[in-house]
Structure 1
Amino acid sequence: MTPTPEADLSTEQSQAIAARVREELARRRISRQHLADQARISISTLEKALAGRRPFTLATTIRLEEALGAPLWTPVRAAPAALAGLAPEALGAYSRAAVAWLEGEYLTLRPSFEDPAAVYAYRTEIAWDEASSSLAFREAARQDAEFTQKGMVSLSNQSGHTYLITNEQGQFRLIILGRPVIGGEMYGMLTTLQAGHGSHLTPAAAPVALIPLRRVAEPTFGRIAAGGAHYDDYRATLARVTDKGFARFFAG
Protein backbone atom coordinates (compact mmCIF):
# COMPACT_ATOMS: atom_id res chain seq x y z
CA MET A 1 0.00 0.00 0.00
CA THR A 2 1.39 3.40 -1.00
CA PRO A 3 1.39 5.84 1.95
CA THR A 4 -0.59 9.08 1.90
CA PRO A 5 1.45 12.27 1.32
CA GLU A 6 1.40 13.12 5.04
CA ALA A 7 2.31 9.61 6.22
CA ASP A 8 5.78 8.82 7.54
CA LEU A 9 7.84 6.45 5.43
CA SER A 10 9.44 3.49 7.17
CA THR A 11 12.84 3.71 8.85
CA GLU A 12 14.46 1.69 6.05
CA GLN A 13 12.88 3.84 3.33
CA SER A 14 13.88 7.06 5.08
CA GLN A 15 17.47 5.87 5.47
CA ALA A 16 17.64 4.99 1.77
CA ILE A 17 16.25 8.39 0.77
CA ALA A 18 18.68 10.20 3.09
CA ALA A 19 21.60 8.37 1.49
CA ARG A 20 20.39 9.32 -2.02
CA VAL A 21 19.93 12.97 -1.04
CA ARG A 22 23.43 13.18 0.46
CA GLU A 23 24.81 11.60 -2.71
CA GLU A 24 23.04 14.15 -4.91
CA LEU A 25 24.20 17.04 -2.71
CA ALA A 26 27.82 15.90 -2.99
CA ARG A 27 27.60 15.22 -6.73
CA ARG A 28 25.99 18.57 -7.54
CA ARG A 29 28.04 20.48 -4.92
CA ILE A 30 25.01 22.34 -3.60
CA SER A 31 24.22 23.20 0.00
CA ARG A 32 21.44 21.76 2.07
CA GLN A 33 19.98 25.24 2.46
CA HIS A 34 19.83 25.64 -1.34
CA LEU A 35 18.07 22.28 -1.70
CA ALA A 36 15.59 23.13 1.06
CA ASP A 37 14.78 26.43 -0.64
CA GLN A 38 14.30 24.75 -4.02
CA ALA A 39 12.09 22.04 -2.51
CA ARG A 40 10.07 24.58 -0.51
CA ILE A 41 10.71 22.86 2.82
CA SER A 42 12.37 24.17 5.96
CA ILE A 43 16.07 23.57 6.48
CA SER A 44 15.18 22.15 9.92
CA THR A 45 12.95 19.51 8.34
CA LEU A 46 15.68 18.54 5.88
CA GLU A 47 18.43 18.41 8.51
CA LYS A 48 16.40 16.25 10.91
CA ALA A 49 15.39 13.84 8.14
CA LEU A 50 18.96 13.48 6.88
CA ALA A 51 20.20 12.89 10.43
CA GLY A 52 17.52 10.24 11.02
CA ARG A 53 15.84 12.21 13.82
CA ARG A 54 12.53 12.24 11.94
CA PRO A 55 11.21 10.14 9.03
CA PHE A 56 10.65 11.45 5.52
CA THR A 57 7.04 11.83 4.37
CA LEU A 58 5.95 11.07 0.84
CA ALA A 59 5.12 14.76 0.27
CA THR A 60 8.60 15.89 1.36
CA THR A 61 10.21 13.20 -0.79
CA ILE A 62 8.25 14.29 -3.86
CA ARG A 63 9.31 17.91 -3.36
CA LEU A 64 12.94 16.86 -3.07
CA GLU A 65 12.64 14.75 -6.22
CA GLU A 66 11.20 17.73 -8.11
CA ALA A 67 13.99 20.00 -6.85
CA LEU A 68 16.72 17.51 -7.76
CA GLY A 69 15.11 16.18 -10.92
CA ALA A 70 16.00 12.66 -9.78
CA PRO A 71 14.03 9.76 -8.23
CA LEU A 72 14.67 9.13 -4.54
CA TRP A 73 12.12 6.49 -3.61
CA THR A 74 10.34 3.58 -5.23
CA PRO A 75 7.19 2.27 -3.50
CA VAL A 76 7.68 -1.21 -2.11
CA ARG A 77 5.57 -3.78 -3.89
CA ALA A 78 3.01 -5.62 -1.81
CA ALA A 79 4.34 -8.81 -0.22
CA PRO A 80 2.94 -12.13 -1.40
CA ALA A 81 -0.20 -13.16 0.46
CA ALA A 82 1.73 -16.01 2.12
CA LEU A 83 4.11 -13.46 3.70
CA ALA A 84 1.58 -10.77 4.61
CA GLY A 85 1.65 -10.06 8.35
CA LEU A 86 4.94 -11.93 8.80
CA ALA A 87 8.01 -10.14 10.19
CA PRO A 88 11.42 -10.48 8.46
CA GLU A 89 13.53 -13.43 9.59
CA ALA A 90 16.13 -11.03 11.04
CA LEU A 91 13.48 -9.81 13.53
CA GLY A 92 12.26 -13.27 14.49
CA ALA A 93 9.83 -14.15 11.65
CA TYR A 94 6.86 -13.68 13.97
CA SER A 95 3.30 -13.30 12.71
CA ARG A 96 1.15 -10.32 13.56
CA ALA A 97 -1.44 -12.52 15.25
CA ALA A 98 1.22 -14.10 17.46
CA VAL A 99 2.43 -10.76 18.85
CA ALA A 100 -0.87 -8.89 19.14
CA TRP A 101 -0.55 -9.17 22.93
CA LEU A 102 2.52 -6.90 22.81
CA GLU A 103 0.80 -3.99 21.07
CA GLY A 104 -0.18 -1.05 23.26
CA GLU A 105 1.16 1.82 25.36
CA TYR A 106 3.63 1.32 28.18
CA LEU A 107 4.94 3.38 31.05
CA THR A 108 8.72 3.10 30.68
CA LEU A 109 10.98 3.48 33.72
CA ARG A 110 14.74 3.69 34.11
CA PRO A 111 17.14 5.47 36.50
CA SER A 112 17.92 9.08 35.63
CA PHE A 113 21.43 9.33 34.17
CA GLU A 114 21.87 12.79 35.71
CA ASP A 115 20.69 11.68 39.18
CA PRO A 116 20.74 7.87 39.67
CA ALA A 117 18.55 8.22 42.79
CA ALA A 118 15.78 9.69 40.63
CA VAL A 119 13.58 7.80 38.19
CA TYR A 120 13.06 8.81 34.57
CA ALA A 121 9.59 7.97 33.22
CA TYR A 122 8.15 8.25 29.72
CA ARG A 123 5.70 6.53 27.39
CA THR A 124 6.47 3.87 24.79
CA GLU A 125 3.97 2.75 22.14
CA ILE A 126 4.37 -0.60 20.38
CA ALA A 127 2.27 -1.17 17.25
CA TRP A 128 2.32 -3.10 13.97
CA ASP A 129 3.99 -1.23 11.11
CA GLU A 130 2.59 -2.25 7.73
CA ALA A 131 5.49 -0.79 5.75
CA SER A 132 8.10 -2.96 7.46
CA SER A 133 5.71 -5.85 8.24
CA SER A 134 6.84 -5.96 11.85
CA LEU A 135 6.23 -4.43 15.25
CA ALA A 136 7.69 -0.96 15.74
CA PHE A 137 8.05 1.20 18.82
CA ARG A 138 7.98 4.94 19.34
CA GLU A 139 8.68 6.90 22.54
CA ALA A 140 6.76 9.95 23.73
CA ALA A 141 6.36 12.22 26.76
CA ARG A 142 10.14 12.42 27.23
CA GLN A 143 11.44 15.41 29.13
CA ASP A 144 14.53 15.35 26.88
CA ALA A 145 12.44 15.27 23.69
CA GLU A 146 15.49 15.61 21.41
CA PHE A 147 16.57 12.10 22.46
CA THR A 148 13.21 10.45 21.74
CA GLN A 149 13.76 7.02 20.19
CA LYS A 150 11.89 4.88 17.68
CA GLY A 151 12.73 1.65 15.90
CA MET A 152 11.89 -1.98 15.29
CA VAL A 153 10.91 -4.82 17.63
CA SER A 154 12.59 -8.22 17.45
CA LEU A 155 11.40 -11.33 19.29
CA SER A 156 13.48 -14.43 19.88
CA ASN A 157 11.71 -17.78 19.78
CA GLN A 158 14.71 -19.41 21.43
CA SER A 159 15.08 -17.17 24.48
CA GLY A 160 11.66 -15.56 24.63
CA HIS A 161 13.24 -12.13 24.95
CA THR A 162 11.95 -8.98 23.27
CA TYR A 163 14.36 -6.44 21.75
CA LEU A 164 13.59 -2.77 21.04
CA ILE A 165 16.20 -1.73 18.48
CA THR A 166 17.09 1.78 17.39
CA ASN A 167 19.49 2.04 14.45
CA GLU A 168 20.22 5.56 13.25
CA GLN A 169 23.01 5.68 10.68
CA GLY A 170 24.81 2.77 12.34
CA GLN A 171 24.36 4.04 15.89
CA PHE A 172 22.43 1.52 17.98
CA ARG A 173 20.44 1.69 21.17
CA LEU A 174 19.04 -1.56 22.54
CA ILE A 175 16.49 -2.57 25.17
CA ILE A 176 16.40 -6.28 26.09
CA LEU A 177 13.23 -7.37 27.90
CA GLY A 178 12.46 -10.71 29.52
CA ARG A 179 9.19 -12.59 29.18
CA PRO A 180 6.21 -10.60 30.49
CA VAL A 181 4.90 -11.44 33.95
CA ILE A 182 1.23 -12.13 34.59
CA GLY A 183 0.26 -8.44 34.57
CA GLY A 184 2.02 -7.78 31.26
CA GLU A 185 5.01 -5.99 32.81
CA MET A 186 8.39 -6.54 31.17
CA TYR A 187 11.75 -6.04 32.86
CA GLY A 188 15.24 -5.89 31.42
CA MET A 189 18.20 -3.74 30.49
CA LEU A 190 18.84 -0.64 28.40
CA THR A 191 22.17 -0.09 26.63
CA THR A 192 22.76 3.31 25.08
CA LEU A 193 25.12 6.28 24.81
CA GLN A 194 24.93 8.88 27.55
CA ALA A 195 25.27 12.45 26.34
CA GLY A 196 27.88 14.41 28.27
CA HIS A 197 29.46 17.83 27.89
CA GLY A 198 29.62 19.06 24.31
CA SER A 199 29.52 16.15 21.91
CA HIS A 200 30.96 13.62 24.37
CA LEU A 201 29.10 10.28 24.40
CA THR A 202 29.71 7.44 26.87
CA PRO A 203 28.34 3.88 26.66
CA ALA A 204 25.88 3.31 29.50
CA ALA A 205 23.59 0.53 30.75
CA ALA A 206 20.67 0.67 33.16
CA PRO A 207 17.71 -1.41 34.37
CA VAL A 208 14.46 -0.70 32.55
CA ALA A 209 10.82 -1.66 33.04
CA LEU A 210 7.82 -1.41 30.71
CA ILE A 211 4.42 -1.43 32.45
CA PRO A 212 1.13 -1.53 30.49
CA LEU A 213 -0.13 2.04 30.81
CA ARG A 214 -3.68 0.84 31.49
CA ARG A 215 -2.44 -0.62 34.79
CA VAL A 216 -1.10 2.71 36.09
CA ALA A 217 -3.52 5.21 37.60
CA GLU A 218 -2.62 8.82 36.75
CA PRO A 219 0.99 8.13 35.68
CA THR A 220 3.65 10.78 36.14
CA PHE A 221 6.26 11.40 33.43
CA GLY A 222 9.66 13.10 33.46
CA ARG A 223 12.45 13.02 36.04
CA ILE A 224 10.96 12.12 39.42
CA ALA A 225 13.01 12.67 42.56
CA ALA A 226 12.38 11.39 46.08
CA GLY A 227 9.07 12.72 47.38
CA GLY A 228 7.59 13.06 43.91
CA ALA A 229 4.37 11.42 42.76
CA HIS A 230 4.75 7.63 42.29
CA TYR A 231 8.44 7.82 43.26
CA ASP A 232 8.35 4.94 45.76
CA ASP A 233 6.33 2.71 43.41
CA TYR A 234 8.58 3.51 40.46
CA ARG A 235 11.75 2.76 42.44
CA ALA A 236 10.30 -0.51 43.71
CA THR A 237 9.37 -1.48 40.13
CA LEU A 238 12.91 -0.84 38.90
CA ALA A 239 14.36 -2.79 41.83
CA ARG A 240 12.59 -5.92 40.53
CA VAL A 241 14.91 -5.99 37.52
CA THR A 242 17.84 -7.16 39.65
CA ASP A 243 15.95 -8.52 42.68
CA LYS A 244 14.04 -10.99 40.49
CA GLY A 245 16.95 -11.77 38.18
CA PHE A 246 15.59 -10.22 34.97
CA ALA A 247 19.04 -8.67 34.31
CA ARG A 248 22.48 -8.69 35.89
CA PHE A 249 25.02 -5.89 36.01
CA PHE A 250 28.71 -6.65 36.56
CA ALA A 251 31.48 -4.20 37.48
CA GLY A 252 35.16 -4.96 37.19
Structure 2
Amino acid sequence: MDSDELSEKQNRGVAARIREELARRRVSRQYLADLAKISLSTLEKALSGHRPFTLATTIRLEEALAMRLRVSETLDNVAAISNGHADEQFGAYSRASVAWIEGLYLTVRPSFGDRQAIFAYCTEIHWNEAASNLRFNEKDRLDAAFTQQGTVSIPNLSGHIYLSTNTSGQQRLIIVSRPSITGEMYGILTTLQAGRGAQLTPVAAPIVLIPMKALADAPLGRINPDQPGFDAYAAYLKRTVEEPFAMFLPGVAAP
Protein backbone atom coordinates (compact mmCIF):
# COMPACT_ATOMS: atom_id res chain seq x y z
CA MET A 1 0.00 0.00 0.00
CA ASP A 2 1.30 3.45 -0.91
CA SER A 3 1.92 5.62 2.17
CA ASP A 4 -0.38 8.23 0.65
CA GLU A 5 -3.27 5.74 0.46
CA LEU A 6 -5.75 4.93 3.22
CA SER A 7 -5.85 1.44 4.69
CA GLU A 8 -8.61 -0.97 3.72
CA LYS A 9 -10.44 -0.34 7.00
CA GLN A 10 -10.16 3.43 6.63
CA ASN A 11 -11.38 3.18 3.03
CA ARG A 12 -14.52 1.33 4.10
CA GLY A 13 -15.23 3.89 6.79
CA VAL A 14 -14.67 6.90 4.53
CA ALA A 15 -16.80 5.39 1.75
CA ALA A 16 -19.65 4.64 4.17
CA ARG A 17 -19.63 8.18 5.57
CA ILE A 18 -19.59 9.71 2.08
CA ARG A 19 -22.54 7.59 0.94
CA GLU A 20 -24.44 8.57 4.11
CA GLU A 21 -23.81 12.28 3.48
CA LEU A 22 -24.82 12.01 -0.19
CA ALA A 23 -28.12 10.43 0.85
CA ARG A 24 -28.71 12.87 3.70
CA ARG A 25 -27.99 15.96 1.62
CA ARG A 26 -29.69 14.56 -1.48
CA VAL A 27 -26.85 15.53 -3.80
CA SER A 28 -25.28 13.53 -6.62
CA ARG A 29 -21.82 12.05 -6.79
CA GLN A 30 -21.10 14.36 -9.71
CA TYR A 31 -22.00 17.38 -7.53
CA LEU A 32 -19.63 16.21 -4.77
CA ALA A 33 -16.85 15.48 -7.25
CA ASP A 34 -17.17 18.97 -8.73
CA LEU A 35 -17.25 20.55 -5.25
CA ALA A 36 -14.13 18.64 -4.18
CA LYS A 37 -12.41 19.31 -7.53
CA ILE A 38 -11.78 15.64 -8.28
CA SER A 39 -12.94 13.54 -11.20
CA LEU A 40 -16.19 11.59 -10.98
CA SER A 41 -14.25 8.48 -12.04
CA THR A 42 -11.89 8.84 -9.06
CA LEU A 43 -14.82 9.18 -6.65
CA GLU A 44 -16.76 6.27 -8.18
CA LYS A 45 -13.77 3.88 -8.06
CA ALA A 46 -12.96 4.79 -4.46
CA LEU A 47 -16.56 4.37 -3.31
CA SER A 48 -16.82 1.00 -5.05
CA GLY A 49 -13.54 -0.23 -3.52
CA HIS A 50 -11.74 -0.54 -6.84
CA ARG A 51 -9.19 2.14 -5.91
CA PRO A 52 -8.05 3.30 -2.43
CA PHE A 53 -8.73 6.85 -1.33
CA THR A 54 -5.53 8.87 -1.27
CA LEU A 55 -4.88 11.29 1.56
CA ALA A 56 -5.06 14.25 -0.85
CA THR A 57 -8.44 13.12 -2.26
CA THR A 58 -9.82 12.50 1.23
CA ILE A 59 -8.78 15.96 2.42
CA ARG A 60 -10.50 17.54 -0.60
CA LEU A 61 -13.67 15.58 0.15
CA GLU A 62 -13.51 16.59 3.83
CA GLU A 63 -13.24 20.25 2.82
CA ALA A 64 -16.12 19.92 0.36
CA LEU A 65 -18.37 18.22 2.93
CA ALA A 66 -17.11 20.37 5.83
CA MET A 67 -16.66 17.27 7.97
CA ARG A 68 -13.93 14.85 9.00
CA LEU A 69 -14.12 11.51 7.18
CA ARG A 70 -11.07 9.78 8.69
CA VAL A 71 -11.40 8.02 12.03
CA SER A 72 -8.55 6.49 14.04
CA GLU A 73 -8.21 2.76 13.39
CA THR A 74 -7.28 2.18 17.02
CA LEU A 75 -10.86 2.94 18.11
CA ASP A 76 -13.94 0.96 17.25
CA ASN A 77 -16.11 3.97 16.50
CA VAL A 78 -16.55 7.68 16.98
CA ALA A 79 -18.58 7.14 20.13
CA ALA A 80 -15.42 5.84 21.78
CA ILE A 81 -13.72 9.13 20.92
CA SER A 82 -16.44 11.55 21.87
CA ASN A 83 -18.97 9.65 23.98
CA GLY A 84 -21.74 11.46 22.10
CA HIS A 85 -20.34 14.93 22.77
CA ALA A 86 -19.12 17.60 20.37
CA ASP A 87 -15.57 18.83 20.66
CA GLU A 88 -14.90 21.83 22.89
CA GLN A 89 -14.33 24.05 19.84
CA PHE A 90 -18.05 23.63 19.00
CA GLY A 91 -19.30 24.14 22.56
CA ALA A 92 -18.83 20.66 24.08
CA TYR A 93 -22.56 19.96 23.83
CA SER A 94 -24.09 16.50 23.96
CA ARG A 95 -26.50 15.27 21.33
CA ALA A 96 -29.33 15.08 23.87
CA SER A 97 -28.81 18.70 24.90
CA VAL A 98 -29.14 20.06 21.34
CA ALA A 99 -31.84 17.76 19.93
CA TRP A 100 -34.29 20.69 20.03
CA ILE A 101 -32.45 22.49 17.21
CA GLU A 102 -32.43 19.61 14.73
CA GLY A 103 -34.81 20.03 11.81
CA LEU A 104 -35.57 21.88 8.60
CA TYR A 105 -35.66 25.68 8.56
CA LEU A 106 -36.91 28.24 6.08
CA THR A 107 -34.05 30.72 5.74
CA VAL A 108 -34.69 34.30 4.63
CA ARG A 109 -32.30 37.18 4.00
CA PRO A 110 -32.09 40.16 1.65
CA SER A 111 -31.26 39.31 -1.95
CA PHE A 112 -27.73 40.30 -2.89
CA GLY A 113 -28.64 40.64 -6.56
CA ASP A 114 -31.78 42.77 -6.11
CA ARG A 115 -32.00 45.10 -3.11
CA GLN A 116 -35.79 45.21 -3.36
CA ALA A 117 -36.16 41.43 -3.13
CA ILE A 118 -35.81 38.75 -0.44
CA PHE A 119 -33.96 35.46 -0.89
CA ALA A 120 -35.47 32.29 0.63
CA TYR A 121 -34.20 28.70 0.82
CA CYS A 122 -34.03 25.75 3.24
CA THR A 123 -31.41 24.93 5.86
CA GLU A 124 -31.26 21.52 7.55
CA ILE A 125 -29.56 21.12 10.94
CA HIS A 126 -28.79 17.54 11.96
CA TRP A 127 -26.48 15.46 14.14
CA ASN A 128 -23.57 13.88 12.31
CA GLU A 129 -22.56 10.58 13.90
CA ALA A 130 -19.17 10.39 12.19
CA ALA A 131 -18.07 13.83 13.36
CA SER A 132 -20.06 13.75 16.62
CA ASN A 133 -21.45 17.26 16.29
CA LEU A 134 -24.22 19.23 14.65
CA ARG A 135 -23.95 20.05 10.95
CA PHE A 136 -26.00 22.20 8.63
CA ASN A 137 -26.56 22.01 4.92
CA GLU A 138 -28.56 24.28 2.65
CA LYS A 139 -31.15 23.05 0.17
CA ASP A 140 -33.36 24.39 -2.61
CA ARG A 141 -31.23 27.46 -3.31
CA LEU A 142 -32.01 29.26 -6.54
CA ASP A 143 -28.25 29.76 -6.97
CA ALA A 144 -27.38 26.11 -6.32
CA ALA A 145 -23.68 26.64 -7.09
CA PHE A 146 -23.36 28.70 -3.88
CA THR A 147 -25.04 26.12 -1.61
CA GLN A 148 -23.26 25.95 1.76
CA GLN A 149 -22.73 23.35 4.47
CA GLY A 150 -20.70 23.34 7.66
CA THR A 151 -20.55 23.03 11.42
CA VAL A 152 -22.84 24.29 14.18
CA SER A 153 -21.38 25.68 17.41
CA ILE A 154 -23.51 26.28 20.51
CA PRO A 155 -21.32 27.66 23.32
CA ASN A 156 -22.90 28.40 26.68
CA LEU A 157 -21.01 31.65 27.18
CA SER A 158 -22.47 33.81 24.40
CA GLY A 159 -25.97 32.36 24.27
CA HIS A 160 -25.83 32.38 20.47
CA ILE A 161 -25.59 29.77 17.71
CA TYR A 162 -22.89 29.82 15.04
CA LEU A 163 -23.24 28.21 11.60
CA SER A 164 -19.79 28.20 10.05
CA THR A 165 -18.51 27.21 6.62
CA ASN A 166 -14.80 26.75 5.99
CA THR A 167 -13.82 25.75 2.46
CA SER A 168 -10.05 25.73 1.89
CA GLY A 169 -9.77 28.59 4.38
CA GLN A 170 -12.55 30.67 2.83
CA GLN A 171 -15.14 31.23 5.52
CA ARG A 172 -18.76 32.26 5.90
CA LEU A 173 -20.42 32.80 9.27
CA ILE A 174 -24.01 33.05 10.50
CA ILE A 175 -24.62 34.12 14.11
CA VAL A 176 -28.20 33.74 15.32
CA SER A 177 -30.02 33.99 18.63
CA ARG A 178 -31.39 31.02 20.54
CA PRO A 179 -34.89 30.17 19.25
CA SER A 180 -37.75 32.45 20.24
CA ILE A 181 -40.86 30.97 21.86
CA THR A 182 -42.18 30.23 18.35
CA GLY A 183 -38.88 28.74 17.18
CA GLU A 184 -37.36 31.47 14.98
CA MET A 185 -33.64 32.28 15.18
CA TYR A 186 -32.67 35.85 14.25
CA GLY A 187 -29.20 37.13 13.47
CA ILE A 188 -26.59 38.22 10.98
CA LEU A 189 -24.82 36.68 7.98
CA THR A 190 -21.28 37.63 6.97
CA THR A 191 -20.06 36.35 3.62
CA LEU A 192 -18.62 37.36 0.24
CA GLN A 193 -20.82 38.73 -2.51
CA ALA A 194 -19.96 37.82 -6.08
CA GLY A 195 -19.52 40.89 -8.26
CA ARG A 196 -18.37 41.43 -11.80
CA GLY A 197 -15.99 38.83 -13.11
CA ALA A 198 -13.97 37.31 -10.28
CA GLN A 199 -14.59 40.20 -7.88
CA LEU A 200 -15.74 39.28 -4.36
CA THR A 201 -16.87 41.84 -1.79
CA PRO A 202 -17.40 41.28 1.97
CA VAL A 203 -21.07 41.80 2.86
CA ALA A 204 -23.26 41.49 5.99
CA ALA A 205 -27.04 41.11 6.12
CA PRO A 206 -29.83 40.17 8.55
CA ILE A 207 -30.95 36.56 8.39
CA VAL A 208 -33.74 34.52 9.98
CA LEU A 209 -34.17 30.75 10.34
CA ILE A 210 -37.85 29.78 10.76
CA PRO A 211 -39.05 26.23 11.52
CA MET A 212 -40.37 24.93 8.20
CA LYS A 213 -43.34 23.29 9.91
CA ALA A 214 -44.61 26.77 10.86
CA LEU A 215 -44.94 27.89 7.23
CA ALA A 216 -46.78 25.51 4.95
CA ASP A 217 -45.97 25.89 1.23
CA ALA A 218 -43.50 28.71 1.90
CA PRO A 219 -42.28 30.19 -1.42
CA LEU A 220 -38.58 29.77 -2.15
CA GLY A 221 -36.15 31.60 -4.39
CA ARG A 222 -35.98 35.34 -5.05
CA ILE A 223 -39.22 36.83 -3.73
CA ASN A 224 -40.19 40.25 -5.13
CA PRO A 225 -42.46 42.79 -3.38
CA ASP A 226 -45.46 41.85 -5.53
CA GLN A 227 -45.16 38.10 -4.81
CA PRO A 228 -46.89 36.02 -2.11
CA GLY A 229 -44.82 35.66 1.04
CA PHE A 230 -42.86 38.87 0.63
CA ASP A 231 -44.63 40.84 3.37
CA ALA A 232 -44.29 38.01 5.90
CA TYR A 233 -40.60 37.54 5.11
CA ALA A 234 -39.98 41.29 5.29
CA ALA A 235 -41.58 41.39 8.74
CA TYR A 236 -39.18 38.74 10.00
CA LEU A 237 -36.17 40.66 8.67
CA LYS A 238 -37.49 43.92 10.09
CA ARG A 239 -37.81 42.35 13.53
CA THR A 240 -34.17 41.23 13.33
CA VAL A 241 -32.91 44.82 13.36
CA GLU A 242 -35.71 46.49 15.33
CA GLU A 243 -35.68 44.35 18.48
CA PRO A 244 -32.62 44.24 17.86
CA PHE A 245 -31.26 40.73 17.46
CA ALA A 246 -28.48 42.15 15.27
CA MET A 247 -27.08 45.65 14.91
CA PHE A 248 -25.48 47.40 11.96
CA LEU A 249 -23.50 50.22 13.55
CA PRO A 250 -23.15 53.61 11.85
CA GLY A 251 -19.66 55.05 11.70
CA VAL A 252 -17.41 57.53 10.00
CA ALA A 253 -17.67 55.56 6.75
CA ALA A 254 -21.47 55.29 6.84
CA PRO A 255 -23.35 57.24 4.12
TM-score (norm 2): 0.76
Instruction: Determine the C-alpha separation between the residues in 1 that align with 2:45 and 2:181.
Output: 41
Measure, in 1, the Cα distance between the counterparts of 2:133 and 2:144.
25
> Sequence identity, in percent?
47
Matches within 5 A, 1:24-173: 46-50=33-37, 59-60=46-47, 62-63=49-50, 65=52, 75-76=71-72, 77=75, 78-79=77-78, 81=80, 83-173=82-172
Whether the aligned pair in 2 keeps the contact of 1:8 and 1:57 (CA below 8 Å) is no
Aligned to 1:189: 188
The SS at the match of 2:135 is strand
1:116 deviates by 1.7
Shift of 1:64: 5.0
**What SS is found at the alignment partner of 1:228?**
coil
CA shift for structure 1 position 94: 0.3
Structure 1 pair 94–57 and aligned structure 2 pair: CA distance change class (3 A): farther
Is the CA contact 2:163–2:175 (under 8 Å) kept in the aligned structure 1? yes
For the residue of structure 1 that corresponds to 2:114, the secondary structure is: coil
Kept in 1: contact 2:122–2:139 (CA 8 A) = yes
Deviations 1:41-62 (A, max 9, x none): 97x76443138xxxx7894495
- Contiguous gaps of at least 5 residues in structure 1: 10-40
1:106–1:124: 8 Å Cα contact kept in structure 2? yes
Unmatched segments (≥5 aa) in structure 2: 1-11, 23-28, 59-68
Normalization by structure 1: what TM-score? 0.76
- Kindly tell me the number of residue pairs found equivalent between the two proteins: 215
Determine the C-alpha separation between the residues in 2 that align with 1:231 and 1:47: 34
Contact 1:6 1:59 in 2 (8 A): no
Asked whether the 8 Å contact 1:112–1:223 carries over to 2, the reply is: yes
- Structure-1 residue corresponding to 2:245: 246
Q: Deviations over 1:36-86 (max 9, x none)?
A: xxxxx97x76443138xxxx78944955537x7999685444245483210
- 1: CA distance between counterparts of 2:142 and 2:49? 33
